[in-house]
Amino acid sequence: MPVIEVADLVKEFRRPKRQEGAFAGIRTLLTREQTVKRAVDGVNFTVQQGEMVGYLGPNGAGKSTTIKMLTGILVPTSGTVTVAGATPWRDRSRNARRIGVVFGQRSQLWWDLPLRDSLWLIGRLYDVPEARFRERQRQFSEVLDLGPFLDTPVRQLSLGQRMRGDLAAAMLYDPDILYLDEPTVGLDVIAKERIRTFVGELNRASGTTVVLTTHDLDDVEELCDRIVLIDHGRVAYDGAVDELKTRYAPHRELVVQTDRLESVEGAEVVRREDGKVWLRFDPVRTPPAELVAAVLERHRVTDLSIVEPELESVIHRIYADRG
């Protein structure tokens, strides 16, 4: 059952046309001429309950603008959005109780208050019963390791600590949908892994729908089965991660450590280095098991591995092909 439905979504931004010559700044302020920037250009997609979807694209592609319309922050120029049966910008109160939002560059926590007090205030704003609030705070303190800094003012928290606090705040009132906009930007490896683990467990345990925008494709590969690629405000791809790799990067590489290997039927030698040979092959035409068996039968092998194409390189290729 779709919990998010987006149809023909368009968002345009208008600004005064820049004037040239003397007193250009003043003339720009007074002019009625406008330039139009279409940030989102006819986007269509649906998200099923419990899905974890990566919404990806280069800077300026329209990702954050879309998320702001899904959350009700922005009103579209045209098109429709339905989130859990509501129109976000018309039913703001109803929508706010169904969604949790984490923006990596902003915080919903009170800057001068300890994290504990910020969480309590958010619980009160969303009418979370006291017993449920204490239970959720205990759960999140354990999973996100909030205990050491619960009584620290938010302004004194590290970026990783603040992000964990924001995640706890976003999920205090049990929303059905969680929007994550660059949730791991600027974080170290340990903090990133802690957040990924929390989001994955949340989805498995509660069926929370997750929409993730990020430039860190490790987030996507670990959490998402489906991605929506957006480019110049339009959907360039919508489907499974594995299907994307198969469609745009059909070849795999078998890396073999061996004393000597000249050629193998069904594969092409593309690289030799430090006693290793890289064999490129099409798994549809040459099944990996058959290729491995052929190599082991004819050569003395000390190690081998199959290398999948990196998601980042596949997506880069798609955008390069689209210009």
CATH number at residue 21: 3.40.50.300
The dihedrals phi and psi of 213, each to the nearest 5 degrees, come to -110, 135
Tell me the CA distances in angstroms from 309 to 27, 69, 170, one per residue in order: 53, 33, 34
pLDDT (mean) for 228-236: 92
Are 235 and 273 in a shared domain? no
* pLDDT tens per residue, range 267-292: 888 888 888 888 888 888 888 899 89
Please, which residues have CB within 8 angstroms of residue 174's CB and are 6 or more apart in sequence?
136, 206
Handedness of CA 140, 141, 146, 149 (dihedral sign): positive
* C-alpha R_g of the chain: 24
Please, which residues have CB within 8 angstroms of residue 225's CB and are 6 or more apart in sequence?
51, 52, 240, 241
- Choose among 203, 84, 91, 169: nearest CA to 212: 203
Are 263 and 308 in a shared domain? yes
Domain boundary among 245, 271, 286: 245
Are 103 and 162 in a shared domain? yes
Handedness of CA 10, 11, 16, 18 (dihedral sign): negative
Are 142 and 19 in a shared domain? yes
Are 157 and 277 in a shared domain? no
Sheet strands (E) in 173-322: 177-181, 209-213, 226-231, 234-240, 252-258, 268-273, 276-281, 301-307
pLDDT at 270: 86
- Read off the pLDDT band of 263 (50, 70, 90): confident
Domain boundary among 224, 245, 266: 245
Are 86 and 145 in a shared domain? yes
pLDDT at 113: 96
**CA angle centred on 211, ends 236 and 7, rounded to 5°:** 55
Sheet containing 252-258: order of strands: 268-273, 276-281, 252-258, 301-307
Domain boundary among 199, 222, 245: 245
pLDDT at 124: 95
pLDDT at 237: 92
pLDDT at 2: 92
Are 131 and 279 in a shared domain? no
Please, which residues have CB within 8 angstroms of residue 316's CB and are 6 or more apart in sequence?
none
Residue 323 has pLDDT above 90, yes or no: no
Residue 32 has pLDDT above 80, yes or no: no
* Cβ atoms of residues 7 and 80 within 8 Å: yes
**CA angle centred on 102, ends 99 and 103, rounded to 5°:** 130
The pTM for the full model equals 0.82
Q: What share of the chain in percent tops pLDDT 90? A: 49
pLDDT at 21: 61
Are 163 and 254 in a shared domain? no
Are 269 and 218 in a shared domain? no
Domain that holds residue 9: 2-245
Are 289 and 169 in a shared domain? no
The total of structural domains in the chain comes to: 2
Are 95 and 208 in a shared domain? yes
* Cβ atoms of residues 163 and 187 within 8 Å: yes
Residue 249 has pLDDT above 60, yes or no: yes
Higher-confidence position of 22 and 136: 136
